[in-house]
Amino acid sequence: MTFAIHGLPVARGIAIGRAVLVASSRVDVAHYFIEAAQIPSEFERLRVARDAVIEELQRLQATMPRDAPPELAAMLDVHLMLLEDESMAYEIRRWIKERLYNAEWALTSQLEVLVRQFDEMEDEYLRERKADLEQVVERVLRHLKGAATPMAAAPPRAPRQHDLGLHDTQDVPLVLVAHDLSPADMLQFRKSVFAGFVTDVGGKTSHTAIVARSMDIPAVVGARSASQLVRQDDWVIIDGDAGVMIVDPSPIILAEYGYKQRQGELERGRLVRLKSTPAVTLDGQKIELLANIEQPGDTAAALAAGAVGVGLFRSEFLFMGREGKLPDEDEQYTAYRAALEGMQGLPVTIRTTDIGADKPLDDRRPDTHLNPALGLRAIRWSLSEPAMFLTQLRAILRAAAHGRVHLLIPMLAHAGEIRQTLELIGKARSQLDERGQVHGQVSLGAMIEIPAAALSLRLFLKHFDFLSIGTNDLIQYTLAIDRADESVAHLYDQLHPAVLRLLADTIAEGARRGKPVSVCGEMAGDTSVTRLLLGLGLRSFSMHPSQLLAVKQEILRADTAKLAAWARAVLESDEPAELLLG
Ligand code: PEP
Ligand code: MG
């Protein structure tokens, strides 16, 4: 039966395909595809882990005190029985063999199938065995941890779904449905076969949503219980424009969305023609369109979209998901230099790490502070780890010998932080001089992401060559709305008068002092506010490459002289959204 699940639209377009469910588990599980050649070794990992748990439980059984409650012995029996169940082992191996899932993913996928069966059971005793099953799987997962297989370097072809008797073609698009995906998970899936994403949690500018957007495939986040309601292999439609997922669509709905999908492709085809057109408004204002990237390899997409530089290289993506083994100076230098070379002489803005909050270094050790978004994040974390920060600064300064680098610092608020940061940059230079190592000049920029920064522009403009407004965080901190929390997503309002006031003042103050100001948050790529930002005086936008041509189209149709008066009225309004829509 057809039904729809509503969430937040985060990446445009329509995807139609079969659902691949990433089950959530209490143990943090890596999900990745293996190569076909790895199937036997993945079977073996599973066997070794299962045998280890059997041995563990048998040892427990043998050493159980005489006065132990009989329920305990019975529970161990049930656990052993489940572990030794050949039909369950067979089904798990099928996920590995036919879908090329890694062992952990296979195990949790089968668990999900069984849990649903248990939930439907009438018999209470049997229904309660679900917990036993979950505990057993958890034990096996723990054993699998630490014995992980390397991921497939290239994504395998679409899994052979017909082997499961599901349908007859090999090339059915796959749509990923998960409770949550960390930004590191998303990077792992980045070049995979998926045609779209849906997650239960997350806000429009959560980092997961940003990475989804960077994959340029339709995505919906904050779709509450999607991962509970959708089953493996259900047909689903993701409408990334409306933020809706349609499950088990009828033929009429399928046809309608198929048409929408083709229209979208045509529109993209039309936009591509604007690639080499200069971004100049009707009244002759030149606008700078820059790209946001996460990895050096993303520069290809930036150039393909006609970006005139990188306005935000989120360097933290080089640091995440490495289980504590941070990239050393040479590895970072190579990555930054690759980004510069990738941009073929165009400038690259490298932001120092923004680790913390929803971008933990390691998914296995998520940030457990009470308010991670208000905690040790971004420059605060960098200053608390000076050796790590100096390593990054040296790598950036060395890379700067090969091209035009703008060095950007996230989340600054205090004069003391600015002072410490500048001192460390100076120290990194002296260290390179002492080593006799070549380094280059950089221009220095600060992100305006905290209201306190937007209200102390004089201080920032005294010390920095340029400013970049991180609207994602500026909105989060101005409105006290966690950007990753879907339960307050309706209050996350980029058009709140307070947000617009901080934006307008920052743009105006930069212009007065002759220092460039850019916006690199998601607002820069949102065509519904392009005209407003132009009217407020913004002349530099940095966004994901996939958004760039649509924004350019808006710019080509705009007259900034006329927009300025209108933008002033919007700024004075108590409900700016009404003027924007009207
Ligand atoms: C922002 O906050 O707007 C920004 C660009 O930084 P990030 O999204 O990486 O926090
Ligand atoms: Mg930010």
pLDDT along the chain (582 residues), means of 10: 90 92 68 90 93 86 72 79 90 93 90 83 74 82 67 40 38 86 69 84 81 84 89 92 94 94 91 95 98 95 96 94 87 98 98 88 69 93 96 98 98 98 98 98 98 98 98 97 90 96 98 98 96 98 95 97 96 92 68
Residue 150 in any domain: the answer is no
Tell me, letter by letter, the H, E, C secondary structure of 352-419.
CCCCECCECCCCCCCCCCCCHHHCCCCHHHHHHCHHHHHHHHHHHHHHHHHCCEEEEECCCCCHHHHH
Residues 431 and 452 in one domain: yes
Residue 153 in any domain: the answer is no
Protein residue whose Cα sits closest to atom 6 of ligand 1: 470
Sequence-ordered strand ranges (E) for 268-346: 288-293, 310-314
Sheet with 3-6, strands from edge to edge, namely 3-6, 244-247, 235-239, 14-22, 174-178, 194-199, 219-221, 8-11
Residue 386 in any domain: the answer is yes
Give me the CATH number covering residue 244. Answer: 3.50.30.10
Final residue in a domain of this structure, among 92, 117, 145: 145
Residues 388 and 513 in one domain: yes
Residues 225 and 329 in one domain: no
Instruction: Please state, in angstroms and as integers, the Cα–Cα distance from residue 36 to each residue in 9, 33, 104, 109, 517, following that order.
Output: 35, 9, 16, 19, 50
pLDDT confidence of residue 160:
37
Q: Is 45 annotated as a binding residue?
A: no
Residues 287 and 258 in one domain: no
Indicate if 207 belongs to the active site: yes
Tell which one of 186, 317, 349, 354 to mutate to probe ligand 1, the residue whose CB is within 8 A of the most ligand atoms. 354
Residue 349 in any domain: the answer is yes
Residues 540 and 415 in one domain: yes
Residue 110 in any domain: the answer is yes
Residues 13 and 57 in one domain: no
Number of the ligand 1 atom closest to the C-alpha atom of 470: 3
Give me the CATH number covering residue 55. Answer: 1.10.274.10
- Give the count of domains, the chain: 3
Q: Is 351 annotated as a binding residue?
A: yes
Cα(190)–Cα(215) distance, integer angstroms: 6
Cα(494)–Cα(181) distance, integer angstroms: 24
Final residue in a domain of this structure, among 87, 116, 145: 145
Give me the CATH number covering residue 349. Answer: 3.20.20.60
Cα(316)–Cα(323) distance, integer angstroms: 14
Domain containing 461 equals: 276-581
Residues 116 and 177 in one domain: no
Final residue in a domain of this structure, among 75, 110, 145: 145
Protein residue whose Cα sits closest to atom 8 of ligand 1: 472
Residue tagged active-site, from 31, 143, 207, 406: 207
Residue 29 in any domain: the answer is no
Q: How far is the CA of 50 from the centre of ligand 2 (A)?
A: 43
Neighbours of ion ligand 2 (CB under 5 A): 449, 470, 473
Residues 388 and 471 in one domain: yes
Q: Taking a C-beta distance cutoff of 8 angstroms, is the pair 87, 94 a contact?
A: no
Residues 258 and 391 in one domain: no
Residue 310 in any domain: the answer is yes
Residues 217 and 321 in one domain: no
Contacts of 220 (CB under 8 A, 6+ apart): 7, 8, 9, 10, 197, 198, 199, 226, 238, 239, 240, 243, 244, 245
Residue 154 in any domain: the answer is no
- How many Cα atoms within 13 Å fall on the side-chain side of residue 68? 13
Q: How far is the CA of 473 from the centre of ligand 1 (A)?
A: 6
Residues 346 and 437 in one domain: yes
Residues 97 and 173 in one domain: no
